[in-house]
Amino acid sequence: MVRPGDIIQPFRVAINGLVHTFRTQRHMRIHLYVTLATVALALALNLRVREVLVLLFMITFVLVAEMFNSAIEATVDLASPNYHPLAKFAKDIAAGAVLVTTIMAILVGLLVAAGDDTWDRIRVSLTYGSIGLPVPAKLGLGAIMLFFIIVIGKGLGKRGQVLRGGLVSGHAAYGFFIAGAIVFITDQPLVSGLGLLLAMIIAQSRWEAKIHSIFELTLGGTVGLVMAWVLFAILPK
């Protein structure tokens, strides 16, 4: 308890909270190690002050989210020591907040590391179609975009979880995305057919395991094929 008029005690309490979080939360230690590595890399790359400030802001954002997550978990365990669906829901939401902030921090870090010139080339490519993205870049971009679409799709459904079941089959989406990319990249019908066949086998395995319905597999496969069509047929080569 902080006594009125005591200036030192609030700082001591805050430091105790930081130390306790670092000692007890493995993810917090990982975030701190990544922070040190990021700062060292920023110094090695001779980044500008503006870019370093952006990185420090995103790092702080992630650390604060992790601390709030730890505080919410401790509060939920205290209020509901036994299993309860609402308690699990609260913990899942807090963990999801950390995931969102971490993903955004990674994206910001990648953009800062790429530099203004690389970003300008990508923007010109997407806007005017004068410079095409290489195949690995399109595959990576499609994988990231599919992840968000799948998560949103699963959230719209009424059953299943993010990594199992749900309205949009992630396995089918990624399988048909890769198969569609093969179709648009190669001019070999045999190779294209084998890619589509492997994607169908993936979808069939999810149906036989009773994880997804035919509709969910079809929806996932359609999402993957549309993503491949947009990236490899519409965008310039």
The DSSP annotation for the chain comes to: -PPTT-SHHHHHHHHHHHHHHHHH-HHHHHHHHHHHHHHHHHHHTT--HHHHHHHHHHHHHHHHHHHHHHHHHHHHHHH--S--HHHHHHHHHHHHHHHHHHHHHHHHHHHHHHHHHHHHHHHHHHHH-SSPPPHHHHHHHHHHHHHHHHHHHHHHSSS--SSS--SS-HHHHHHHHHHHHHHHH---HHHHHHHHHHHHHHHHHHHHTTSS-HHHHHHHHHHHHHHHHIIIIIS--
pLDDT for the residue numbered 131: 47
d(CA 212, CA 128): 40
Q: What is the mean pLDDT of residues 208-222?
A: 85
d(CA 47, CA 103): 21
Query: Token pair of 218, please?
Result: 């079809």
Q: What is the mean pLDDT of residues 164-173?
A: 78
Residues 129-156 have pLDDT tens digits of 444 567 888 888 888 888 888 887 777 6
pLDDT for the residue numbered 228: 92
User: What global pTM score does this model have?
Assistant: 0.56
pLDDT for the residue numbered 118: 62
pLDDT band with cut points at 50, 70 and 90 for residue 180: very high
Please tell me which of 36-50, 54-68, 113-127 the model is most confident about, judged by mean pLDDT: 54-68
Least confident of 9-13, 31-35, 61-65: 9-13
pLDDT for the residue numbered 178: 92
* CATH tag, 10-131: 1.10.287.3610
Considering the candidates 66, 73, 208, 216, report the single residue annotated as catalytic: 66
Residues 57-74 have pLDDT tens digits of 888 888 888 888 888 888
For the question of residue 208 being annotated catalytic, the response is: no
